[in-house]
Structure 1
Amino acid sequence: MRDRGSVVIIENEKVALIERQKNDEHYFVFPGGGIKNDETPDQAAIREAFEELGVTVKIDRFIDDFFFSGRQYFFLADILNGQFGRGQGEEMTQSDPEKGTYHPVWAEISELTHLDVRPRQIAERVYSLGRG
């Protein structure tokens, strides 16, 4: 079990996601990853956004947390700079059939309820944020 920090980035009625293909599964997750010993959850989310998306972000606010194989923290964030899709983290640059593929994408918020976005409860929360 490992605690994780993740970002939720919303721009132009779209949300940044990582499209995953692993074994026979096709699904989406919010950019994020494990919290290192010297990091807070928001610091991990910022680092992971850079590694996975290639962007520097600023945390706007905490959205939610829950327990699933460790504590999962989600933060609403804004892009400050960088080029979306240019992440250089290990999972983005190295091929490992056992880990599957990682591909950064923008998804319409209106489609979140139709896609297999994990975790579902955060996807539903973002869907509500995008409509309000």
Structure 2
Amino acid sequence: MRNRSSVVLKENIKVLLIQRIRDDLIYYVYPGGGIEMGEILKLQLKREAFEELGVEINVNECMLEVAFNGTQYFFRSEIIAGIVGTGEGEEYIDETRDRGMYLPMWVNID
């Protein structure tokens, strides 16, 4: 079990998610990832947002904690710089990593 944290970015009536396409499945996740031992949570969230989305963020309050295979934290955040879709994390640049596609996109909350 590993604790994880996610960034919740909302703009008007949309939320920013990562569309995952893997093994003929399509699903959506909030940007984020596993929390390493000793890692400062807000710094981890900023790193994940930059790697996965290409943006710098302010991390605001924790809006939800969910217990499932560890604890998953969801933090309300806001973009302060960068362009969504320019992330350069290993999921985008490591061609030997066979873990499907990651596509950041704004999705209607409806």
TM-score by length of 1: 0.76
CA RMSD of aligned residues (A): 1.3
User: What is the aligned partner in structure 2 of residue 44 from structure 1?
Assistant: 44
1:43 Cα deviation after fit: 2.5
Residue 58 (str. 1) matches residue 73 (str. 2)? no
Residue 17 (str. 1) matches residue 17 (str. 2)? yes
The percentage of counterpart residues that share the same residue type is 45
TM-score by length of 2: 0.90
In the alignment, structure 1 segments of 5+ residues that lack a partner are 111-132
Residue 73 (str. 1) matches residue 69 (str. 2)? no
Q: Considering Cα pairs closer than 8 Å and 6+ residues apart, tell me whether 1 or 2 has the greater RCO.
A: 2
Number of aligned pairs? 109
Greater strand share, structure number: 2
User: What is the aligned partner in structure 1 of residue 109 from structure 2?
Assistant: 109
Match of 1:18, SS state, is: strand
Segment of structure 1 superposing worse, 36-45 or 73-82: 36-45
Could you tell me which amino acid in structure 1 is paired with residue 49 of structure 2?
A: A
1:22 Cα deviation after fit: 1.1
Greater helix share, structure number: 1
User: What is the aligned partner in structure 2 of residue 129 from structure 1?
Assistant: none
CA–CA distance in structure 2, aligned partners of residues 70 and 100 of structure 1: 24
CA–CA distance in structure 2, aligned partners of residues 44 and 4 of structure 1: 10
Could you tell me which amino acid in structure 1 is paired with residue 90 of structure 2?
A: E
Q: Deviations over 1:16-48 (max 9, x none)?
A: 100001112110000000112232333222211
